[in-house]
């Protein structure tokens, strides 16, 4: 969704409230498609970010600082010439489009007051930032669009600025019940309600259309009223900026209010659109950088997971075949017991199965080229071979399942990485376990020292220290070397996640601290956005590491289980050390 017309409507009101009357102090262009305007207003400095990036076009106040080129780009120089010292007088959004027009009162070359407009169009790869005169003559733009790019609408100095084609869409703020019903009646019968809203009105993204349909309880008859009620909320500025989080707690989207079609636990609210947008894009940029750095590791983990899952399927199939072992032993014993009653060169024989009550007869196939005794020995050999295969396949299944559990834990740890050092530690762990070439020695020979990261460190509301491992090496160190026997150990039951240690200090762990530690264990696990997550806990002395087990893999006994629903808000309330 990112910035649709609804969100932009709320944002424009917020920006106008913060910036109206402010004077332009600085103009910078840190990126080829990004402008930073610093405005002084109400005794404060505000930095307004405008981006025409194809992947992340946006406008919002920001606290970010970027380095600027030594020589300002041409568009930056044009903006400085026309807007420096100017006063922001209004911000408008035409027809609920993804366009904001920012008007400035400026002093022109001959000392008279005049106006200039800075227009940002937020339209994916067609996004642009355009400076115009009051008569809409284009002075310059951050991206020039000539006839070779668009024959319909050129964006060049001296050309007249016109709005992008509306594609027949209407302004949703002007809609009434009759208009909405008419849109539905004139649409094709097989067109979904969501598509009709999305394609009929400006500023409505697909998630917003889905939310309006969701509020109608999926009844077409209620849809028009749901639409009207939704846009009344918009016109009344009844907004609550939210980030929509994925299962790992990372932002998936930004919403203008708490959309009812999403679980409330997956929504994180903010006091302003700018704060939400600044965090959304800061985290998104960081995520993209981390994803680029983790892509190779992710492929390695997924390839090994896929290989292990194929292996375990083959082992299970072989184990099923080996289950005939007892049948072969029975055949061998029955032949031996009746060896003198079996004719020579017989191809089959029917014998009494004295292991089953009721005089049950059983047919046994024989090799006519062998004596009865040789047939019995052949079945005993089959029994021994099948029994060995059964033991082998059971062992291989257990080992492969342990590897799958380990790789899933690594996958979870990788998804929680927040910086380069976190990734490096996981890369080194994979190298130690033979999944990657060990590059650590080569790096050390080059004099590159990698700083070890530390576990998450919290202080409970009752003053107890709580540690959370970031990866399997840390989990082992934390549980097996750092924690004392009397400390409390927690981990999600049968779910990949971090080891959590509560430092007891010779005291009993109070219930509130136990709940907070269990919340941390659930939050830093694969079950982050689940409900009623089971978390096992016991004294550290009850936790053991089996010989040959992979990093982070432990067994434990004499434990209890507590059920919690992960809450980021509760974690934020804890003091982080």
pLDDT in tens, 372-427: 999 999 999 988 888 888 889 889 999 999 899 999 999 989 888 878 888 889 99
What's the pLDDT score for residue 356?
A: 82
pTM: 0.62
Cα distance between residue 227 and residue 218, in whole Å: 12
pLDDT tens by residue, 69-85: 889 999 999 999 999 99
Q: In what order do the strands lie in the sheet with 267-269?
A: 251-255, 242-245, 267-269
Sign of CA pseudo-dihedral 559, 562, 565, 571: negative
Which tokens sit at 560?
């209890």
Cα distance between residue 291 and residue 436, in whole Å: 18
Mean pLDDT of the chain: 90
Cα distance between residue 289 and residue 412, in whole Å: 18
Phi, psi (5° rounding) for residue 363? -90, 130
Phi, psi (5° rounding) for residue 455? -65, 160
What's the pLDDT score for residue 452?
A: 67
What's the pLDDT score for residue 157?
A: 96
Cα distance between residue 279 and residue 509, in whole Å: 36
What's the pLDDT score for residue 1?
A: 58
- Mean local confidence (pLDDT), 229-241: 95
Q: Could you give the percent of the chain with pLDDT greater than 70?
A: 97
Phi, psi (5° rounding) for residue 480? -95, -20
Stretch among 195-209, 287-301, 368-382 having the lowest mean pLDDT: 287-301
What domains can be seen in the chain, in order of their start residue?
A: 5-141 (2.30.310.10), 166-239 (1.10.8.50), 456-576 (no CATH)
Q: In angstroms, how far apart are the furthest CA atoms of the chain?
A: 126
Out of 100-114, 354-368, 536-550, the most confident range is 536-550
Phi, psi (5° rounding) for residue 47? -105, 115
Cα distance between residue 514 and residue 510, in whole Å: 6
Contact 97, 163 (CB under 8 A): yes
CA 24, 279, 416: angle at the middle one, nearest 5? 155
What's the pLDDT score for residue 449?
A: 43
pLDDT tens by residue, 475-519: 999 999 999 999 999 999 999 999 999 999 999 999 999 999 999
Cα distance between residue 371 and residue 339, in whole Å: 9
Cα distance between residue 371 and residue 430, in whole Å: 57
Instruction: Work out the angle between the directed axes of helices 206-215 and 220-235 (0-180°, nearest 10).
Output: 120
More confident residue, 277 or 110: 277
Which residues are paired to 537 by β-bridges? 490, 560
What's the pLDDT score for residue 439?
A: 56
Cα distance between residue 533 and residue 529, in whole Å: 9
What's the pLDDT score for residue 453?
A: 80
At 534, is the pLDDT very low, low, confident or very high (cuts 50, 70, 90)?
very high
pLDDT tens by residue, 434-482: 998 765 554 444 444 444 688 999 999 999 999 999 999 999 999 999 9
Sign of CA pseudo-dihedral 433, 438, 441, 447: negative
Q: Which helix (H) or strand (E) holds 77?
A: helix 74-83
pLDDT tens by residue, 333-354: 899 988 888 888 899 999 988 8
Cα distance between residue 503 and residue 562, in whole Å: 19
């Amino acid at each position: 969704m990112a910035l649709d017309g609804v969100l932009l409507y709320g944002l424009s009101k917020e920006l106008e409230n913060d910036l109206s009357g402010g004077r332009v102090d600085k103009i910078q262009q840190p990126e080829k498609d990004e402008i930073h305007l610093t405005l002084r207003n109400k005794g404060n400095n505000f930095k307004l970010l405008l981006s025409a990036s194809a992947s992340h076009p946006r406008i919002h106040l920001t606290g970010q600082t970027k380095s600027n080129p030594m020589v300002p780009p041409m568009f930056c120089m044009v903006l400085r010439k026309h807007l420096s010292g100017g006063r922001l007088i209004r911000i408008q959004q035409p027809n609920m489009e993804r366009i904001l027009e920012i008007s400035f009162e400026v002093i022109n070359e001959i000392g008279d007051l005049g106006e200039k407009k800075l227009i940002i169009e937020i339209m994916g790869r067609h996004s642009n930032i355009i400076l115009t005169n009051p008569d809409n003559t284009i002075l310059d733009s951050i991206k020039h669009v000539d006839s070779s790019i668009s024959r319909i609408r050129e964006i060049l100095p001296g050309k007249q600025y016109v709005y992008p084609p509306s594609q027949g869409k209407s302004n949703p703020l002007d809609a009434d019940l009759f208009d909405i019903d008419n849109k539905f009646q004139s649409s094709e019968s097989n067109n979904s309600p969501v598509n009709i809203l999305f394609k009929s009105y400006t500023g409505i993204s697909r998630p917003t259309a889905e939310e309006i349909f969701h509020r109608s309880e999926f009844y077409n008859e209620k849809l028009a009223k749901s639409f009207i009620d939704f846009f009344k909320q918009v016109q009344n500025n009844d907004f609550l900026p939210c980030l929509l989080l994925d299962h790992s707690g990372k932002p998936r989207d930004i919403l203008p209010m708490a959309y009812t079609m999403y679980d409330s636990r997956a929504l994180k609210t903010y006091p302003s659109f700018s704060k939400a947008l600044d965090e959304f894009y800061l985290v998104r940029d960081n995520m993209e950088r981390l994803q680029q750095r983790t892509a190779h590791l992710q492929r390695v983990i997924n390839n090994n997971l896929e290989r292990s899952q194929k292996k375990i399927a083959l082992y299970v199939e072989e184990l099923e075949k080996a289950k005939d072992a007892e049948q072969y032993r029975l055949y061998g014993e029955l032949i031996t017991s009746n060896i003198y009653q079996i004719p020579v060169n017989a191809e089959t024989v029917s014998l009494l199965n004295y292991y089953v009550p009721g005089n049950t007869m059983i047919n046994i196939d024989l090799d006519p080229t062998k004596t009865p005794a040789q047939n019995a020995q052949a079945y005993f050999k089959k029994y021994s071979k099948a029994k060995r295969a059964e033991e082998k396949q059971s062992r291989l299944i257990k080992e492969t399942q342990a590897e799958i559990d380990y790789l899933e834990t690594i996958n979870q740890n990788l998804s929680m990485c927040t910086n380069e050092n976190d990734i490096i530690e996981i890369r080194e762990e994979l190298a130690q376990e033979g999944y990657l070439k060990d590059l650590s020695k080569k790096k050390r020979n080059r004099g590159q020292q990698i700083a070890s990261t530390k576990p998450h460190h919290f202080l409970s509301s009752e003053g107890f220290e709580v540690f959370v491992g970031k990866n399997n090496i840390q989990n082992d160190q934390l549980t097996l070397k750092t924690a004392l026997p009397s400390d409390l150990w927690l981990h999600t039951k049968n779910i990949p996640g971090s080891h959590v240690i509560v430092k007891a200090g010779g005291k009993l762990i109070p219930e509130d601290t136990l709940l907070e530690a269990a919340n941390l264990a659930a939050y830093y696990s694969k079950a982050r956005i689940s409900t009623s997550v089971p978390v096992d806990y016991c004294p550290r002395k009850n936790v053991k590491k089996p010989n040959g087990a992979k990093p982070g893999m432990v067994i434990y006994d004499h434990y209890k289980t507590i059920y919690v629903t992960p809450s980021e808000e509760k974690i934020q309330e804890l003091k982080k050390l």
